[in-house]
Amino acid sequence: MDYKIQQDNKRLERKEAKLDKLDKEIAVKQKAKATIDEINAMGKSNLFGGVSLTEAEAEKLKILAKKFVTTENKIADERRKRKAAESERDKAIAELAEEKKKRAPMTEHLQWFGKFMEAMKRSPKRLKAVIEDIMCQAPEIAELELIRQKSQNIEK
């Protein structure tokens, strides 16, 4: 029973937070609408087709024009920042894709290392003898090619 009450309280809190957010959005939109209505109501047409403004209306328009210019500059700056962030994100995605391509051989090496360690625990003398035997022989050509290719890929 207490659990259900707690869940209902949490749900109620989330809904209240959502309502508060909506109230704030409505207040901002109403303020913008009031400003637009004020601008539309400004000025009176005169006989010669021009518009005459009161000093207060002219001052208000000047303030709004200045705000518009600074806002436009801020928007342009934010767009540049967003584009830079997007290009940085795309670069990071490409790097991640490259790392994922490299990860497959690395996990394969880790698996072989695990097998090597297991063999070392089971029979260290025999493993040592096999390694010494391999090291005494000339390297296989196919293996040399693979080693060269891997070293070239790592350098890139």
Q: Which 3 state secondary structure label does DSSP give 45?
A: strand
pLDDT tens by residue, 80-133: 999 999 999 999 988 888 877 777 677 777 788 888 889 889 999 998 998 888
Q: Which 3 state secondary structure label does DSSP give 140?
A: coil
Instruction: Report the chain's terminal Cα–Cα distance, integer Å.
Output: 64
pLDDT tens by residue, 2-24: 878 888 888 888 888 888 888 88
